[in-house]
Amino acid sequence: MSLTVVGSVAFDALETPFGKRDKILGGAATHFSLSSSFFTDVRCVGVVGNDFGEEEWEVFRSHHINTDDVEVVADGKTFFWRGRYEYDLNTAHTLETQLNVFETFNPKLSDASKNNRLLFLANILPMLQKEVREQCPNAEFVAMDTMNFWIDSMKEAVIDTIKIVDCVIINDAEARQLADVPNVITAAKKILSWGPKAVVIKRGEYGAALFTADSYFAIPAYPLESVFDPTGAGDTFAGGFMGYLASQEKIDDAAMRRAMIYGSVMASFNVEKFGTERVADLGYLEINQRFSDFKRFTNFEEIPFERANTAV
């Protein structure tokens, strides 16, 4: 086994300008697991209620995602989120949140989950992320996400967790909020200064950027004309990124750059249908096709300019 993710498994109700779904499989750990399952063996750590049905388990099972550490609370209900997106799909409005069994989520990692080579701490209470990270002293590469809610209410706890991970995967606005600076480059450098080896900034339709101590890498997003539902795009990106890294013997700058592309590729599929529908249905041919598209549409020849003649 090689990758463990800890986070939410949920039901979502979604409204976008293009349609709605009343109750579909969602949650950060779900989107992450599904995406990473194309690249590596993944163990999902989470909690669900007795309303989590055969149809939902089948999505995990059919992608060989190990759910031994997904706790089932017999008398509880699964985390439920209802959201609505405006026309431009950039802002999600939360209409309803029922934490249910997730409110008292206390991740219980089996030895197998603790001993995986890579670990992803999806967006949960920062103190819980820290506890989980400390339970996995042998993990070679640990990444985390977080969100504005924790940055607002307990920034110091978020920073304490950042100090003991290898990589922070975070969106643009949250990076600026966390570092308390308006410039995203400055924000990423400040976050790096707290300890992690890498900071990945997610910019939605504008792409993503990777910062390390001595390297910078940036890519546009995959060009899409039909975006249906952005829910889970960030976790799907993280899943592609970490899943690809788990498949590589050496986690160096070159591998992280390719992982950025695979993350973007997976996220580009995720938004094409509701929830997990598109990624659950993916094949390797499509994945590698979009990877190769990325090469094609970012490629240019490096020819330094020399002025042949001047008007002087």
Q: Note the residues at the interface with a copy of itself (CB under 8 A).
A: 38-39, 41, 64, 66, 87-88, 182-186, 189, 203, 205-207, 209, 215-220, 223-227, 244, 247, 254, 257-258, 260-262, 284, 287-288, 291-292, 295, 297-305, 307-308, 310-312
Residue 14's nearest CA partner among 269, 230, 203, 202 is 230
In the three-class reduction of DSSP (H, G, I as helix; E, B as strand; rest coil), residue 209 is classed as strand
Longest dimension (CA), the chain: 84
User: Distance between CA 236 and CA 163 in Å, rounded?
Assistant: 24
**Shortest spacing between CB 254 and a copy of itself, in angstroms:** 6
Among residues 11 and 85, whose Cβ is nearest to a copy of itself?
85
Q: How far apart are CA 199 and CA 215, in angstroms?
A: 11
Cβ proximity to a copy of itself: between 110 and 292 the closer is 292
* Residue 13 vs 173, nearer CB to a copy of itself: 173
Nearer to a copy of itself, 74 or 284 (CB): 284
What are the tokens at 282? 């993916």
To a copy of itself, the closest distance from the beta carbon of 60 in angstroms equals: 12
When the beta carbons of 169 and 184 are compared against a copy of itself, the nearer one is 184
Residue-wise DSSP of 244-270: HHHT-S--SHHHHHHHHHHHHHHHHHH
> Cβ of residue 174: shortest distance to a copy of itself, in angstroms?
15
Given the complex with a copy of itself, which of 131 and 291 has the nearer CB atom? 291
| Closest distance to a copy of itself from the beta carbon of 124 (Å) | 25
In the complex, the smallest distance separating the C-beta of residue 156 from a copy of itself, rounded to whole angstroms, is 25
d(CA 290, CA 270): 13
Please state, in angstroms and rounded to a whole number, the distance separating the CA atoms of residues 43 and 1.
8
Separation of alpha carbons 121 and 169, rounded Å: 10
Smallest distance, a copy of itself to C-beta of residue 158, A: 23
